[in-house]
């Protein structure tokens, strides 16, 4: 009998609010976090909107000591982790620290701080740089910071797999709980908006508005959709071995019971092949959870407003779910939250757990002129419904397709 | 649960390209250190590194920017490993059961550096379409998946100097779970000026050479390259009569939870990593024949690692050969533990261990058998491979003769 991986704490640092209550209230109310970006000078570029984290006071969570050496991503992750651990009412004492690890997904980690450091080297010369300038510039230094902050002894792992990074980190964490490598794992995703992130999406014309026409908003599955809105934040969970959670009387938000991941196919693949890969991934995840498609009450779509990616996802859902594919409720948190890249699967996981606990599905806003090629039951108004099992889709057009099943705790 | 075996190896390192050349160079103590050529070091106090020399690119690149990517090394080593394993052509196989995991520390930083170096006034000059495509670390595995037609799970391990071992450990769990038949695993790294500067300003770079465990050791020499191996379930390997180098018996992970840059002074995390690996592999410390050390040549690491080995291997510690190939190929960062895993399998295959070169003055605090200066033929049935990264992120892998 496999051990069960349950979630007992949720920590959110997001453009829709700090802490999971604010995040949830704004998400179910359909309040959008999308606005012209303030942290970057985009005067030379046509795409200006984004979803930024605002109002985070990291000192509240991490204390003052050493804070000035930490970069934005580390403040996001550290604050998110502290919120999650406090939410779980968990004390990581010396004994438990030996059985506690951290696995976080982030596509870029602190890459933009690394390139800032290089920019300083070539502009000012290497000799004037102090070692403290590179204190927190390793791609994985945010995760190391959290492991040191909580004095964890188990393990620390950063997974980078593009858009599916957070999903893959959570999927890996389930397995390490199931095979007994840890009792507690701090898991989830983190990503930060930076000039680097902007440039790679902008040059690849993936951002909403990059075709020079249409509005710069996120419109998943709407026929006017024209790219995604970049977002940021950290979505962190305390995942526990069920028996451990039970023994300490922890509140359980739900179980992560299935995970599946496959490569999406090469960049030359046609739509048919891509649909097939998305179908196979969802299927392998549902099989991993030991359930069938009829058990799924809600699909948390990848739906990031990308022209091609939303179409592939809709066709894949139709294909896998057959007739019920047009009826099963589908929503995308990215309509209000934007596309948080390596953190997005973790953001969807937070939303799925809160849907299960509150009996509510957040609306997919801006889906007003439904794309006739995407024949899905898109939830575009807040929906009251008992939710027991959610399928989370996390798709990268040039990387993995990854899925999770989140289940009510029984 | 099927056992997991190694059936193919590929190496691109500073003292040899290709497994045969590299192994020969390692056993003969050939030093790959030379003047650093890929960028100007006149503003630094150190000018040496272990760069790949006389490399012929065996893949097609779209433009000048992408020609500077890690892909040139990972592709070359992966192609060698797949050919070696007999999986060069996987027509007819279920491609969704073939996955990839690659470790790296800095990822594709050099293409960005290459562009920005010449036009440093504005950071956006560091980006062109080539950089936009390769910059996300996941491009490393995406390119390999496309090259070799793999359609299973992918992961890039960003775990500093233990990235390669993390990737291998991650793959082992997938294979044990039965989700995949074959995993192409390893690590790749180039030498970014950023990391050179980082180590330089931390005063971690040795001026001339890397002398692990020597009393006069002065730090590490930065290196580049790739080490790739083919892992598969024993069932899958047996069905196709593949030749087997070794069994991957297990891994042990830990973190120090101590400091962002300094290792735990008594090696607490290193002890746990080695002990966990032995326990997962169900192997006694008395059965280990060779320790492929992390051995960076920094004063702190080598002392700590020696203490940790003594703590885990007790009365056997002084009788087990311990060597650091970083003395010859430098510290290849995210690729290091993957390259060392490949070398661990070669030690088993050849019943021989490569030396720690530049070893002259014994250090009373480092008093193990470091295989000084000359490679040695000796029975090798079981090897542990240590990696202890910045931030106290430790992973030890164990290989043994099947």
Strand duo A400-407 + A254-263: pairing? antiparallel
Q: Find the CB nearest B150 among A123, A138, A263.
A: A263
Instruction: Closest CB to B158: pick one of A109, A262, A277.
Output: A109
| Average pLDDT, integer, range B63-75 | 86
Q: Report CB contact under 8 Å: B197, A129.
A: yes
Q: What is the dihedral of CA A219, A224, A230, A231, to 10 degrees?
A: -10
Q: Is B347 touching A (CB cutoff 8 A)? A: no
B197 contacts A140? CB cut-off 8 A: no
- Tell me which residue in A122, A140, A145 faces B160 most closely, judged by beta carbons: A140
Residues 6 or more apart whose CB falls under 8 angstroms from that of A307 comprise A225, A226, A227
The pLDDT of residue A1 is 66
CB contact under 8 A, B391 and A144: yes
Candidate from B129, B145, B152 with C-beta closest to A203 = B129
Mean pLDDT over B51-59 rounds to 85
Any CB–CB contact under 8 A between B393 and chain A? yes
Closest residue, chain A, to B193 (C-alpha): A118
Q: Which of B161, B210, B366, B382 is catalytic?
A: B161
Residue of B nearest to A174 (CA): B173
Asked if the Cβ–Cβ distance from A161 to B131 is below 8 Å, we say no
- Cβ distance A147 to B255 less than 8 Å, yes or no, reads yes
- Does B61 lie at the interface with A, CB-CB under 8 angstroms? no
- Residue pair B216/B206 in contact (Cβ under 8 Å)? The answer is no
B contacts of A140 (beta carbons < 8 Å): 158-160, 391, 393
Cα A109 to Cα A137: distance, rounded to the nearest angstrom: 9
Q: Which residues of B touch A110 (CB under 8 A)?
A: none
Provide the CATH topology of domain B1-402: Peroxisomal Thiolase; Chain A, domain 1 (3.40.47)
* Residue B259 confidence class, pLDDT cut points 50, 70, 90: confident
Question: Torsions phi, psi of B106, nearest 5?
Answer: -105, -5
**CB contacts, 8 Å: A280 with chain B:** 96
Q: How far apart are CA B91 and CA B94, in angstroms?
A: 9
* 289-328 of B, contacting A, C-beta below 8 A: none
pLDDT of residue A223: 95
A342 CA to chain B: closest CA distance, Å? Answer: 10
Query: How big is chain B by its Cα radius of gyration, in Å?
Result: 20
On whether any CB of chain B is under 8 Å from the CB of A328, the answer is no
Domain ranges of chain B: 1-402
Q: Which of residues 139-198 of A touch B (CB under 8 A)?
A: 139-141, 143-145, 147-148, 150-162, 165, 168, 172, 175-176, 179, 181, 195-196
Q: What is the DSSP letter of B18?
A: S
- Residue A274 touches chain B, beta carbons under 8 Å: no
- Contact (CB, 8 A) for A376 and A71: no
Between CA A71 and CA B40 the distance in angstroms is 29
CA distance A356 to chain B (A): 28
- Nearest CB neighbour to B257, from listed A127, A151, A165: A151
Residues 223-252 of B with CB under 8 A from A: none
Question: Rounded to the nearest 10 degrees, what angle do helices A141-149 and A72-87 cross at?
Answer: 40
The phi-psi region of residue A63 (left if phi > 0; otherwise alpha if psi is between -120 and 50; otherwise beta) is left
Look at domain A7-254 and name its CATH class: alpha beta
Residues from chain B that touch A151, judged by Cβ atoms under 8 A, are 257-258
On chain A, the residues whose CB falls within 8 A of the CB of B97 are none
Cβ of B141 and A97 within 8 Å? no
Q: What is the DSSP string of B25-46?
A: HHHTT----EE--SS--TTSS-
Per the residue annotation, which of B331, B345, B358, B382 is the catalytic one?
A: B331
- Tell me which CATH code domain A256-407 carries: 3.40.47.10
Overall average pLDDT of the B83-100 stretch:
96
Are the C-beta atoms of residues A347 and A322 closer than 8 Å to each other?
no
Backbone angles phi, psi at A226, to 5 degrees: -145, 35
Q: Which residues of B touch A99 (CB under 8 A)?
A: none
Mean of pLDDT values over B288-300: 97
Of A126, A156, A277, the CB nearest to B393: A156
* Test mutation, B113, B120, B198, chain A, max A CBs within 10 A: B198
Q: Please choose, from the candidates A155, A182, A176, A116, the residue with its C-alpha nearest in 3D space to the C-alpha of residue B391.
A: A155
Count of residues for chain B? 402
B152 touches chain A (CB under 8 A): yes
Q: What's the average pLDDT block by block, 10 residues per block, for chain A (410 residues)?
A: 92 98 98 97 94 98 94 97 98 97 97 95 87 83 95 97 98 96 98 97 94 86 96 98 97 98 86 96 98 98 97 98 94 98 98 98 96 96 98 95 95
Q: Show which of residues 198-217 on chain A sit within 8 Å of chain B, judged by CB atoms.
A: 199-200, 203-204
Contact (CB<8Å) A199/B113? no
Residues of B in Cβ contact (< 8 Å) with A136:
260
Could you give the 3-state DSSP secondary structure of residue B256?
coil
- In the residue annotation, B294 being an active-site residue is answered as yes
Q: How far is A90 from chain B (nearest CA, A)?
A: 17
Chain B contact probe: residue of A126, A189, A260, A278 with most B CBs at under 10 A: A126
Contacts of B252 in chain A (CB under 8 A): none
Tell how strand A5-14 and strand A254-263 pair up: antiparallel
Q: Are residues B189 and B332 in contact, defined by beta-carbon separation less than 8 angstroms? A: yes
Interchain CB contact of B266 with A (< 8 Å) = no
Helix axes B268-281, B299-313, angle to 10 degrees: 40
**Inter-helix orientation angle A271-288/A307-321, to 10°:** 50
Whether the Cβ atoms of residue A254 and residue A10 lie closer than 8 Å to each other: no
Q: How close is the nearest chain B Cα to the Cα of A139, in Å?
A: 7
Residue B338 has pLDDT above 90, yes or no: yes
Which residues are registered as beta bridge partners of B49?
B34
Question: How far does B307 lie from chain A, in Å, by closest CA?
Answer: 18
pLDDT attached to residue B258? 84
In terms of DSSP H, where are the helices of B188-243? 193-201, 234-239
Active site residue B161: yes
* pLDDT one-digit tens code per residue, B188-240: 999 999 999 999 998 999 999 999 999 999 999 999 999 999 999 999 999 99
CA distances for A216 relative to A36, A380, B101, angstroms? 9, 19, 36
Nearest to B177 among A115, A143, A175 (CB): A175
Respond yes or no: is residue B255 known to be catalytic: no
Which residues lie across from A298 on neighbouring strands? A390
Cβ-based contacts of A153 with chain B (< 8 Å):
254-257, 268-269, 272
Q: Which residues are CB-contacts of A152 (< 8 A; sequence separation ≥ 6)?
A: A92, A97, A100, A101, A102, A146, A186, B255, B257
Distance CA B335, CA B388 (A): 13
Average pLDDT score over residue span B85-114: 96
Say whether residue B158 is in contact with chain A using an 8 A CB cutoff. yes
Interchain CB contact of A2 with B (< 8 Å):
no
- B112 lies within 8 A of chain A by CB: yes
CA neighbours closer than 13 Å in the CB half-sphere of residue B128: 13
| Mean pLDDT value across residues B264-291 | 96
């Amino acid at each position: 009998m496999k051990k069960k991986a349950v979630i007992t704490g949720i920590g959110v640092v997001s453009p829709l609010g700090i802490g999971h209550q604010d995040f949830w209230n704004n998400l179910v109310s359909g309040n959008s976090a999308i606005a012209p970006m303030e942290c970057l000078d985009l005067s030379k570029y046509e795409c200006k909107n984004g979803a930024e984290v605002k109002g985070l006071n990291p000192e509240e969570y991490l204390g003052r000591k050493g804070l000035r050496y930490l970069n934005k991503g580390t403040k996001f992750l550290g604050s998110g982790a502290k919120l999650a651990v406090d939410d779980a009412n968990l004390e990581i004492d010396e004994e438990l620290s030996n059985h506690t690890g951290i696995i976080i997904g982030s596509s870029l980690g602190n890459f933009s701080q690394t390139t800032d450091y290089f920019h300083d080297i070539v502009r000012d010369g290497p000799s004037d740089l102090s070692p403290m300038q590179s204190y927190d510039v390793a791609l994985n230094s945010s995760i190391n910071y959290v492991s040191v902050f909580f004095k964890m002894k188990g393990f620390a792992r950063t997974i980078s797999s593009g858009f599916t990074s957070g999903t893959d980190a959570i999927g890996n964490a389930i397995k390490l709980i199931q095979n007994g490598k840890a009792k507690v794992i701090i898991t989830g995703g983190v990503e930060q908006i930076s000039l680097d992130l902007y440039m790679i999406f902008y040059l690849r014309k993936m951002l909403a508005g990059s075709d020079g026409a249409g509005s710069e908003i996120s419109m998943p599955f709407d026929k006017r959709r024209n790219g995604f809105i970049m977002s940021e934040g950290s979505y962190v969970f305390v995942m526990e071995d069920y028996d451990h959670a039970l023994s300490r009387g922890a509140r359980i938000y739900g179980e992560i019971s299935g995970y599946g991941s496959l490569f999406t196919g090469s960049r030359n693949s046609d739509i048919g092949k891509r649909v097939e890969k998305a179908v196979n991934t969802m299927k392998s995840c549902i099989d991993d959870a030991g359930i069938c498609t009829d058990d799924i009450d809600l699909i948390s779509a990848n739906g990031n407003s990308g022209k091609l990616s939303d179409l592939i996802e809709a066709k894949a859902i139709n294909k896998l779910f057959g007739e019920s594919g047009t009826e099963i409720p589908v929503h995308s948190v990215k309509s209000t939250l934007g596309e948080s890249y390596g953190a997005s699967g973790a953001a969807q996981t937070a939303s799925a757990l809160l849907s299960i606990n509150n009996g509510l599905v957040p609306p997919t806003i801006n889906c007003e002129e439904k794309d006739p090629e995407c024949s899905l039951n898109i939830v575009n108004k807040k929906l009251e419904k008992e939710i027991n099992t959610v399928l989370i889709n996390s798709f990268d057009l040039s990387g993995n397709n990854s899925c999770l099943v989140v289940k009510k705790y029984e | 649960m099927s056992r997991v075996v190694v059936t193919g190896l590929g190496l691109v390192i500073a003292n040899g390209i290709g497994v045969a050349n590299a192994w020969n160079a390692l056993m003969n103590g050939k030093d790959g250190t030379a003047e650093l050529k890929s960028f100007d070091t006149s503003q630094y106090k150190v000018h040496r590194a272990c760069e790949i020399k006389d490399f012929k690119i065996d893949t097609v690149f779209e433009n000048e920017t992408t020609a500077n990517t890690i892909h040139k090394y990972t592709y070359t080593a992966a192609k060698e490993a797949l050919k070696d394993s007999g999986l060069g052509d996987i027509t007819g196989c279920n491609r969704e059961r073939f996955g990839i995991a690659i470790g790296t520390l800095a990822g594709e930083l050099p293409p960005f550096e290459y562009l920005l170096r010449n036009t440093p006034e504005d950071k956006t000059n560091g980006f062109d379409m080539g950089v936009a495509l390769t910059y996300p670390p996941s491009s490393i595995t995406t390119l390999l998946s496309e090259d070799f037609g793999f359609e299973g799970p992918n992961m890039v391990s960003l775990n500093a100097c233990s990235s390669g071992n993390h990737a291998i450990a991650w793959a082992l769990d997938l294979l044990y779970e039965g989700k995949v038949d074959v995993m192409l695993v390893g690590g790749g790294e180039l030498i970014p000026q950023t990391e050179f500067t980082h180590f330089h300003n931390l005063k971690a770079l040795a001026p001339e050479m890397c002398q692990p465990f020597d009393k006069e050791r002065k730090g590490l020499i930065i290196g580049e390259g790739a080490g790739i191996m083919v892992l598969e379930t024993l069932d899958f390997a047996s069905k196709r009569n593949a030749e087997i180098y070794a069994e991957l018996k297990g891994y042990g992970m830990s973190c120090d939870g101590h400091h962002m840059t300094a290792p735990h002074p008594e090696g607490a995390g290193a002890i746990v990593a080695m002990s966990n690996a032995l326990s997962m592999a169900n192997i006694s410390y008395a059965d280990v024949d060779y320790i492929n050390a992390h051995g960076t040549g920094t004063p702190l690491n080598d002392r700590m690692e020696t203490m940790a080995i003594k703590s885990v291997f007790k009365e056997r510690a002084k009788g087990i050969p311990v060597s650091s190939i970083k003395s010859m190929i430098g510290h290849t960062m995210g690729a290091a533990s993957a390259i060392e895993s490949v070398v661990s399998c070669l030690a088993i295959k050849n019943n021989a261990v490569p030396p720690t070169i530049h070893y002259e003055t014994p250090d009373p605090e480092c008093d193990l058998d470091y295989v000084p200066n000359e490679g040695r033929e000796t029975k090798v049935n079981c090897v542990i491979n240590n990696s202890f990264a910045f931030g106290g992120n430790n992973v030890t892998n164990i290989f043994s003769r099947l």
